[in-house]
Chains A and B, each alone.
Chain A
Amino acid sequence: MNKKAVVFTLLSLSLAALLLLVYGWTYEKGWEEAYDAEALRVQALGSLILDIEDFILLTLQTGTKSTLAAMTRHVESEGYLSPSTPEEAFQDCFLHAEIDGVACVHEQNTTMQHWMDLLVNQTNKSTGALLQYTIHNVTIRQEYPFLVDVIANITITLQDPAASWTFTKEYPVTVSIQGRTDPALQHVFGVRRAIAEKTPPPGGTWSYTQLQEMYAEGSYRERLNKSPSYLGRFAGNFSPSYCCGIETVLPSTLPISDKPSRSFTDHQIYTDAYYACGDQVYAITGFSDPDFQLDREHLVSFGVIPSLWSNSTCP
């Protein structure tokens, strides 16, 4: 055998030894890294931050509902918002529990800060990491009749010997106003009515039957560009809202003056609108409330046929 013919074998053995030395060492190092307690801690805290962000969204929803309830009570006791707009009042009530220098009283243990403080205590106790938060501002706006959009700008800090996180983000939530008390009805008549949406029938044409149901339920229907918005009601702003108008009908049993000259939708009563009885407004033959009246435009919009229009309530 030619002795030079083992040169490739020798070279490959050398290369194999080199590979085993280099990558074998790397492998051992990787194993140790995988068990690195610090890396595991960072991963666990990363999961915790995801949970915290989910919890922030939930507490922002509860805080929004708490604030709207507090604002409703504020309007009930202090009157319509002024000079603050509903948007400004919401932020002041949410962050500082006051509106225009007057306390805006939240129901106990319902604010976002209350739940976030619980989270901070829980996190600090169970993980040993230091969690802190700051709510910089909160904005509210309406784009749809039965929803409000709230955005909170919040800084979160989580400090731990293994790693630290600090970030500022906008957290958006959309909250239904269904179930919230109508602030205007509460203020004007002292009636606590929870807003519930009456959806139009298939095809979108309202019927007399639905008017009867709305009256019985005290529910609200969407009327864009013809009725005031939910947020507008806090400021006594009953001008039509292009995006977010809603209305309800009121019973004639409420203490309303000059009833024969009135149309019993909420905003028409609040704006003190008067009509000519038997010409512009009519009672409805066979309706459960014999003194209940609506103006022509609303009677038509509810599909009440003219043969049912009655002038029986006219003096």
Chain B
Amino acid sequence: MNAKGSYFYVVDAFIAGMIIVLTLFYLTQGQVSTTGDEDLFAAEKALSFIHGTDVRDYDSPTMRDLRNMSAYPLGQGSLLNYLAQIHYASTQGTPSAEDLLQNLSRDIIDDVVRKDYGASLRMGTDVLHTRRPEAEATSLVHYASSRLAYYQVNDTHIHGPHTVLLEVWR
């Protein structure tokens, strides 16, 4: 083999290496960018946030109002069970409880569900808040997640358990 022939072999090996590298890059990038997990678990993740967040750590316009109201003391429970606490108050006819419940639900949905998604939060059979309801019927993709919520009224009485259902659509 002469010097010119060796040169072609080197160029050939370089091109071959580039082909392999580009192929691997395409495969790994493809896996990461197109899994769709974020969409798939949108409802699950949002409801997990509501379930796992201590109510004292959550801030929103309605929460700031609630902190100043002695009728809705903040315990050590989750944001989800705090919703059950206000839901209990609304079932007892406490003035403004239903409005506070809907406003807090709206704050939560705005915080945890992407703005371009529609969403609905229900406790038992009560709809707490719905965002972009007009898009629900035409949506092709619809995700849902549910958890249990309850509120300890006193030593021996519990409000609930209620199934909290979060539905998300786009």
Contact = CB atoms under 8 A, between A and B. Distances in A.
B40 A9 contact: no
A145 B152 CA distance: 25
B161 A122 contact: yes
Nearest to B163: A126
Contacts of B15: 8-9, 12
Given A1-B8, A43-B44, A51-B148, A16 B20 contact: yes
B140 interface: no
B150 interface: yes
Contacts of B20: 12, 15-16
B142 interface: no
Given A13-B19, A44-B146, A119-B161, A62 B12 contact: no
A55 B12 CA distance: 67
Nearest to A51: B148
A6 B12 contact: yes
A24 interface: yes
Contacts of A31: 34-36
Interface in A63-88: 65-66, 69
A247 B10 CA distance: 94
Interface in A1-33: 1-2, 4-9, 11-13, 15-16, 19-20, 23-24, 27, 30-31
Interface in B121-170: 145-148, 150, 152, 155-158, 160-163, 165
A35 B147 CA distance: 21
Nearest to A23: B27
A127 interface: yes
A34 interface: yes
Contacts of A65: 155-156
B5 interface: yes
A20 B9 contact: no
A110 interface: yes
A16 B23 contact: yes
B141 to A, nearest CB: 10
A19 B37 CA distance: 24
B44 A115 contact: no
B161 A9 contact: no
A188 interface: no
Contacts of A43: 44
B161 A179 contact: no
Contacts of B30: 27
B133 to A, nearest CB: 22
B19 A12 contact: yes
A30 B27 CA distance: 13
Contacts of A118: 160-161
Interface string A118-132: 110011001100000
Nearest to B11: A5
A224 interface: no
A59 interface: yes
A5 B163 contact: no
A58 interface: yes
Interface of A: 1-2, 4-9, 11-13, 15-16, 19-20, 23-24, 27, 30-31, 34-35, 40, 43-44, 47-48, 51-52, 54-55, 58-59, 62, 65-66, 69, 107, 109-110, 115, 118-119, 122-123, 126-127, 179
